[in-house]
Structure 1
Amino acid sequence: MNAQVNELQVIDQNEIALAFNNDQGIQAIIDNIKAQVNEKFEGVVWDFSKKKDRDTVASLAYKVGRSKTAIDAEGKKLKEQYTVFTKKIDAERKLAREQLEAEQARIRKPLDEWEAAREAHIQAIKDRISAFDSGRVDAFSSSDLIKQVISEVEAIAIDESFEDFANEAAIKKDAALTSFKKSLEEALKREAEQAELERLRKEQLEREQRERDERIAKEAADKARLEAEAKALAEQRRVEREKQEAAEREARLIAEKKEAELRAQQAAVMERQRIEREQAAKEEAERKAEEARLSNVEHMRSINQAASKALIDLCVGLEEYQIKAVITAIARNQIPHVSIKY
C-alpha cells in the first residue's frame, strides 16, 4: 500500500432513521459511504502478500457490510414502527442491500482474486507433494512400477518453488522413498519367489507332460501290438475257416455227387422197375383185353346169330347173307336209331 487508509466513518443510527423519512436519504448515505470508500480505497496499490494490506481491505469491506446491515436493520425496525411506509422502506432496504453488496464485492474483488490465485497456487504445490504419497505403491505392486515411481519421486527437486511447504515436502519425499524402497525389496523378493515357484511349476508340468506322452506312446504301442496280434489271429482264423469251409465244401460236393449218383442209380432202378411194371401191366391189360375181346366177340357172335335167326324166321324171302349184312351194319352203328343190345 502506498498511502495510509483511514477508518471508515460509522453511520449514526439516528441519521439512518432520518434518511428513511427523506426522499433520496438512504441514497445519500450510500453515496457518502461510496465516497469514503473511494477516498480511502481508490488509487491505492495493494500488496496482498502482506497481511496488513489483506487485513485492511478485509476490514474496509467488513465495515461496508456493517453499514449495509445497520441500514437494513434500522429499516426493518422502522418498518415495524411505521407500517404505512413498509413498501418504501423495503425498497430502500433492497436498494441498500444491492448497492452496498455490489460495493462490498467491488472492494473485495481484487482480494478475492488474489486469494483464489493464492489458493490455486498452494493447491498446485500440494498436488506436487501428493507425488510423495506412500500409498501410490506397496509390496504387492510390480517391481517395475515401484522403480518407476521411485525414479519419478527422486527426479522432483525440493526447491524454493515449494515455498512454505518445502520442509513438509522434503519430509514426505524422504518418507516416501524409504517406504518405496522397502516395498521394492519386498516386491523383488516376492517376484523372485514367484519366479522360482513358476520355474518349479513349469518343470512339474513338463515332467507330467513327458510322463503323459510316454504313457500315451506306450498305450499306443500296446494298442498297436494288440491290434496286430488280433489281426494276425483273425487272419489265421480266417485262413483256417476258409480251409475248413473248402474241405467241408469239397466233402459236401463229394457227398452230393455220391448222393446224386445214388439217386441216379435209384432213379434208374425205379425207372426200370416202372417200365417193367408198366410193361407187365400193359401185357396184363392186353391179355385181359384180349380175353375180354375174345369173350365179347363170342358174346356178340351169339347175340348176332340169335338176331340173324330171328330175322330169318321173320323175313321170309331174305337170303342169309343179306340178314348178316343187316346185322353187321346195325352192330357197326351204320343204321340210325337202330342198335343191338348186347
Structure 2
Amino acid sequence: MSAKQQVITIDDISADNAPAIYVAGGLGQFFDAVKAEVTGEVPDLTTRKGRERIASLAATVSKSKKAVETPGRDYLKRLKEMPKVVEAELRDFVTKMDNLRDTTRQPLTDWEKAEQARKDKHVDGIQAIKDLAVFEATPAAAHVAQIIADLELVEISDAWEEFLAEAAQVKDQTLAKLRALHAERAQYEAEQAELTRLRLEKEARDKKDNEDRIAREAAEQATREAEAKALRDREAESQRVRDDQAAAEKRESDLKLQAAEAERQAEQAKREKIEAEQKAERDRLQGIEDQKRAVEQARLDEKARADAAADEILRQQRERQADVAHKSKILGEAKQALIGMNISEELAKAIVLKIARGEVPNVTIQF
C-alpha cells in the first residue's frame, strides 16, 4: 500500500474501527504515510509555485492530523463514559443476583428461624425453671412452698423434644434446691416464732413484776410521806414555840443594845470632833512644811539642771578640743610626710588642707 493510499484511508476512520486503530503504536502508520507524502519532494522556494506547494503540504499535514485526532477524541470520550455505564450495569446485575439468591434461600432461612425459635423456647423454659430457685432477698417458707407446688405442676413430656432429658434434670435439681431451702426457712421461721413467743411471755412477766413493784413502792412511799408529815408538824409546832420565845428575848436584847449604841455613838461623835480639830491643825502645819520642802526641792532641781548643763558644755568643749588636737596631729603627720618628699612646708600645708577640705578628687585623709 502506497503512502498516498494510506493518507486517504485516514478519512475512513470511524467508531467501528476505532478500537483497533487507537492502540499503542496504532497511529504510527498514519504518521509514516503523511511524513512520506510531505517529505517525498523538495519544492523550489524561489518560485511562487514552489512556495504554494510547501503551504499545501503543510495544510495536508494539518488536515490529516485533524482527520485522525477528531475521531480519536470522540472515541476517548466514549471510553471515559464507559466506566459509568459498566458500573450501572454491574450494580443492577448484583442487585438482581442478591435478590435471586435471597429468594432462592428464603425457605431455608425461614426454616432456620423457626428452628432457632423452637430451640430458644425450650432453652428459655429451662432457664425459667432454674430462675425459680434464684431470689433477690431471702424468701418466706410459704412463698417457697408455693413455688414448689407450681413447679411440680410443670409437665415434662415429649413436648420438650430433644430437650426432654435436660428439662427433667433441671426440674429435679431445682425442686431439690427449693425443698432444701423450704426446710431451712421453715425451721428458721419456727425457731423465730418460738423465740418471739418466749420474748412476749417474758415481756408480760416483766410488765406484771414491774407493775407490782410500782404498786408496792407507791404504798411504801405513801406510808413514809404520812410519817414524815406528822414528824414535820410536830417539829413545826416546837419550832414555833422556840421562835416566839427567841423573838421576845431578841426584842428585849435589841432595846438594850439600842440604848448602849446611842450612848456609844454620842461618845464616838465627841471623840471624832476632837480628832477632826487636831487633824485639821496637823494638816495646816504639814501643808506649811510641805510647801517649804517643795520650794527647796525646786531650787535644788534647778541647780542640778544648771550644773548638768554646764558639765555638758565643758564635755563638748573638751571633745571638740580633743578632736581638733587629733586632726591637727593627723594633718601635721601628713604635712611632715610631704615635707620628707622635698616639698616646702607651705606647699605641704596647702596640699594637706586642700585634701582635708575634700577639694582633691578621690583622695581623703583618715582621721
The alignment's TM-score, normalised by the length of structure 2, stands at: 0.38
Q: Identify which of structures 1 and 2 has the higher relative contact order when contacts are C-alpha pairs closer than 8 Å and 6+ apart.
A: 1
Structure number with larger C-alpha Rg: 1
